[in-house]
Structure 1
Amino acid sequence: MNKGTGVCNKTCRSLAIAAKLTRDGAQAAAVMLTWGWDPLEDYPGAGKPWHARCVHCGAIKPKKLSHVQNGRGGCTNCAGRDVTDESARKLMTEADLEPLVGYPGSMQPWLCRCMRCSHIGTPTYAKVRARGHQCWSCRSEKIADALRLDATEAMASMLEKGLGPLVPYPGSTELPWKARCVTCETVLAPGPTLHNIRGSQGGCPTCAERGINPARPGYFYLVVHDGHGALKWGIANLEQRISQHVSQGWRLVARWNFKQTSDAWAVERQIKTWVRGQGIPRALTAGQMKYGGHTETAFLADIDVHLVRQYIESLMGRRPESPPLS
């Protein structure tokens, strides 16, 4: 007995509570109908699953009366949470995405082919259902279109940095543009990109107080960061560049020397175009790279460092000077 109350604290109390909450079948059915559920069988009793049909969509579910009358017995099919492989494929196809494997789950990456550009990616069902078509490649094209400059704006950007274009605007901020420095008259060929010109790299590197001089000897390098699981490629004139990266946890994988850094620059642009062309995004942010260069990064999970090295060797027709790849 419960001290001071004179009432049995176990069996008697439980029976009293159950008696108070007990409903007859008609009352229980009325509650279910009020909340949109049509019972398909006799009331099984409190706390037991009761098979009923949703009056809105016809889905049959086992519902507990207590859950329904407390507002927790909504129809998951009406809410869109009951997803079959067939219904999920239909939604993806309507969003111009062709599933290549079975439905993995609402929040899991789903291997699909974009029906607009043929790019293969891994959007999630939940994101497509909420936002519609999801494709990294198509999104990149939209961003590029939004950022694209007309010839007049492009020319103004070059002249603002002291560069006089020698050929018509190539039509993209990522393509090199042959130009002459109005200060030292150095011809920059194949030339800088508008992306770099409008960024922090500025104009002519030959007469700049610091930065990369394309006329001097330099090198192209490949480094990896095991902690970030990332790969980085880049070019430099000074040995200090490698030391800077090493101090931040990077290790040198390979290096190719050039008599002129402008040649290394051309290789760097080609590698970036090749990597991004496969739909592989940059791995790190500017805040993660103390000495810059985050735009030339990729996750090792997205691309193999051995494959990158083989591609570079095929471009230059020679192996790196140092060090050997482990």
Structure 2
Amino acid sequence: MRAAGLEPLEPYPGSGSPWCCRHEACGREVTPRLGNISSARQGGCRYCAGKAPIPPDEAQALMRAADLEPLEPYATSMTPWRCRCTTCGSEVSPTLMKVRTGGGCRFCASHGFDLTAPARVYVMQHHQHNAVKIGIGGTAGRNERVNHHRRSGWVLARDWHFATGVEAHAVEQAVLRHLHEAGHGPYLNRDVMPNGWTETFGADLVTPATLAAIGTALLSSLPVTLYCSGSSAGR
């Protein structure tokens, strides 16, 4: 247990029984089983692994440590949490899960998607998984996100181009809100699709044409300027 970063707080109860320990990395008391630890079926601390509920005061402290001041009560680690960045003053809504894995203010990020550059919203389909996905990516040069998904079997069905990533992000989020309010949740899980699984939906209920129609319908209600609209052909 000590080799796994766990200090026992009681005598050994047997490999299949919970063993009260203190996780040296975070200081919390946890009760893993030696059998699970030795067979590598689980890590030593369910809190550090994101598998245990986080108290609201601790969640707020984690956000503030990432220079984000919460503007509403904490819900869950996977729920977008409206905050104000104390560095640039922008209002953003990252999830606590993303912040715990190194995320933060999307406007202050020095890597990844450029919100100030031209961007597109894309709709893709995976026939083997029977899934559709909406996402955003850059338009200048090689589009890493779309090409990355293509290598995993996804096919581009439709896209819209915008002058900035801020506009593309607004459209993507509006479509996702519409789908969530209609009762559609993520279709794939993190094991199948490590990046972008929360923006996937079952193709039996949400076809690529349906997703494209929702996006087109919402464009008129948003303060965005459509640069061009296309499909997978020639893209």
TM score, norm. by length of structure 2: 0.61
Alignment map for 1:53-72 (pairs within 5 Å): none
Partners of 2:108 and 2:53 lie apart in 1 by: 29
- Asked if 1:188 is matched to 2:90, the reply is yes
* Bigger proportion of residues as strand: 2
What is aligned with 2:157?
Answer: 253
1:255·1:323 contact (CA, 8 Å) conserved in 2?
yes
Alignment map for 1:215-294 (pairs within 5 Å): 215-237=116-138, 239-289=143-193, 292-294=195-197
Partners of 1:200 and 1:264 lie apart in 2 by: 24
Structure 2's unaligned 5+ residue stretches are 1-51, 221-225
Deviations 1:67-87 (A, max 9, x none): xxxxxxxxxxxxxxxxxxxxx
- Asked if 1:301 is matched to 2:209, the reply is no
* Bigger proportion of residues as helix: 1
| CA positional deviation for 1:153 | 4.0
What is aligned with 2:38?
Answer: none
Of the three residues 67, 70, 74, the one matched with 1:162 is 67
Q: Percent identity?
A: 24
Give the letter aligned to residue 179 of structure 2: V
SS at match of 2:147: helix
Give the letter aligned to residue 220 of structure 1: V
Of the three residues 194, 212, 218, the one matched with 2:113 is 212
What is aligned with 1:202?
Answer: 103
Partners of 1:247 and 1:320 lie apart in 2 by: 25
Question: Which segment drifts farther, 206-215 or 302-311?
Answer: 206-215
Relative contact order, higher structure (CA 8 A, sep 6+): 2
Deviations 1:261-315 (A, max 9, x none): 223223222222222333333222222226x111110110122221221111111
| CA positional deviation for 1:147 | 5.8
| CA positional deviation for 1:251 | 0.9
Give the letter aligned to residue 172 of structure 2: E
Give the letter aligned to residue 186 of structure 2: R
Q: CA RMSD in A?
A: 3.0
- The alignment covers a number of residue pairs equal to 172
Partners of 2:205 and 2:227 lie apart in 1 by: 24
1:254·1:320 contact (CA, 8 Å) conserved in 2?
no
Partners of 1:158 and 1:234 lie apart in 2 by: 25
TM score, norm. by length of structure 1: 0.46
| CA positional deviation for 1:172 | 4.1
SS at match of 1:187: coil
Partners of 2:174 and 2:132 lie apart in 1 by: 16
Give the letter aligned to residue 216 of structure 2: E
| CA positional deviation for 1:245 | 0.9
